[in-house]
Structure 1
Amino acid sequence: MQRFGVFGEKCLCLIVHVGSLDPKVTGTVLLLLEEDQVIVVDPGMVSAREVILGPMASIGIGPEKVTEVVLSHHHLDHTFHVALFERASVHDYHAIYHGDDWTSRPAEGYRISPNVRLFETPGHTREDVSVAITTSDGLCVYTHLWWTEEGPLEDPYAPSVAQLASSRRRVLDLHPDWIIPGHGRPFRPDVMEPVV
């Protein structure tokens, strides 16, 4: 697993699975560890659930230890395995769900932990949220505003090209050290200028 940061120093960000678009569609899945919180981001489509659970088990984390799940948006390739974490609270763009409790709240500015913050970034869908993760290696932003480092320049699902560009600019204005896209490897925006 690729990692950003050190556990105990801000948030530890682990990439459980790097998503892809070819030959099959899989989503990027993150594991975030901070204090007593275990957060999974976008447990979506992969070839088998062990692709998610295996790397977690290798560091002693079973699905019952996951406290929070974040869904960047509601496309199945990012939500397919959410039920693996039945004890967790689930966060999306407008609420927190736990068991049969539904607590409405805007995602904008919501802190799941001291160094994990949600912010609304409509673009790929109208309901997109991105996750700002402060690690000892710098700021990582997980987002579906970019599918991969290479693009596509124009998201074929975006309801508004102008809104997509505005949200991309908002992410870049945070000056992240890394962007972790929904279907590809992390990239540094200062190494290769991401599409805007």
Structure 2
Amino acid sequence: MDLNLLFPGSIVYVPGMMDAPTSSCALLVENGRKILVDPGGFPSIKILEERLTSLGLSPDSITDIMLTHFHLDHAFNSIFFPNATIHLHANYKSRDYGSFGPIVGSMYLKIIDSWRRVETFNGGVKIMEAIDVLESPYHSRDHVSFFLETENHGKVFICGDVCARQIHYHEMRKGMRSDAAAAFVTDYFERADTVIFSHDLPLFKR
């Protein structure tokens, strides 16, 4: 399996006016499958299209989308891939999206309605025969992280929002945090050659 980081995530926040984060997005290629991990939110539409086009890929060529969790900054762009099977934690079904508000809740439901095929998982399983799904419900009840071995980047830990930025990892590593999330992150960080943070540049350890 090969991994290509299409773009790193970011956080854009203007107090009282705008909160527009978008997640990192990775492309995995394995045996004819083209898999997007967290295709991102509305602010990354342009860079997502540019990076896929530069690789000679169209939206129709994406076969699968894996979500660390179902938040708009990670999942909104899934609406543009009609042939993709969506893979996410089964707990996404337990939310009352209408309670998010008449506009935001409607957006979540529109995204769900756009999905033609959904395959749910729980933590502790291996999907696509190559990707370990790790229970990491410290951010939301449907949150997971992924751990996989690649040909070009070694062992890769995709944190999701359990460790969104490099500074969060360094706080955990230095003992400034000692909760269950910190223990989880530092354990898998030690096993990995490459760490993809959801809202920051990645770390390449080799």
**TM-score category by the smaller chain?**
0.7 to 0.9
**Structure-2 separation of matches of 1:99 and 1:25:** 22
Question: Which residue of 2 is the match for residue 164 of structure 1?
Answer: 181
1:85 aligns with 2:102: no
Residue 118 of structure 1 and its aligned partner are, at CA, apart by: 2.1
Residue 186 of structure 1 and its aligned partner are, at CA, apart by: 1.1
- 8 A contact 1:92–1:107 mirrored in 2: no
Question: Which residue of 2 is the match for residue 20 of structure 1?
Answer: 10
Provide the secondary structure at the position in 1 that maps to 2:146: strand
Question: Which residue of 1 is the match for residue 165 of structure 2?
Answer: 148
Question: Which residue of 1 is the match for residue 141 of structure 2?
Answer: 126
TM-score if structure 2 supplies the norm length?
0.72
TM-score if structure 1 supplies the norm length?
0.75
**For residues 164 and 117 of structure 1, do their structure 2 counterparts lie closer, same or farther at Cα, with a shift above 3 Å needed?**
same
C-alpha distance after superposition, 1:45-79 (max 9, x if no partner): 25252311211111111111111101101121111
**Structure-2 separation of matches of 1:81 and 1:69:** 10
Instruction: State which of 111, 118, 129 in structure 1 corresponds to 2:127.
Output: 111
**Structure-2 separation of matches of 1:138 and 1:33:** 14
Provide the secondary structure at the position in 2 that maps to 1:183: coil
> Residue type of the partner of 2:127?
R
Alignment length (residue pairs): 172
**For residues 95 and 31 of structure 1, do their structure 2 counterparts lie closer, same or farther at Cα, with a shift above 3 Å needed?**
farther
Question: Which residue of 1 is the match for residue 200 of structure 2?
Answer: 184
Structure 1 segments unaligned to the other structure (5+ residues): 1-10, 155-160, 191-196
- 8 A contact 2:60–2:82 mirrored in 1: yes
Q: Which moved further from structure 2: 50-59 or 63-72?
A: 50-59
**For residues 90 and 185 of structure 1, do their structure 2 counterparts lie closer, same or farther at Cα, with a shift above 3 Å needed?**
same
> Residue type of the partner of 1:15?
L
Whichever of the two has the greater Rg, that structure is 2
- 8 A contact 2:87–2:119 mirrored in 1: no
> Residue type of the partner of 1:16?
L
**For residues 100 and 57 of structure 1, do their structure 2 counterparts lie closer, same or farther at Cα, with a shift above 3 Å needed?**
closer
**Structure-1 separation of matches of 2:196 and 2:49:** 20
C-alpha distance after superposition, 1:83-134 (max 9, x if no partner): 111211101112899955555542422322x433322222222321112121
**Structure-2 separation of matches of 1:41 and 1:20:** 15
Question: Which residue of 1 is the match for residue 63 of structure 2?
Answer: 67
> Which of structure 1's runs of 4+ aligned residues deviate more than 4 A?
95-104
Residue 38 of structure 1 and its aligned partner are, at CA, apart by: 0.5
**Structure-1 separation of matches of 2:84 and 2:69:** 17
Provide the secondary structure at the position in 1 that maps to 2:167: coil
- Identical positions, percent: 22
Q: Which moved further from structure 2: 99-108 or 64-73?
A: 99-108
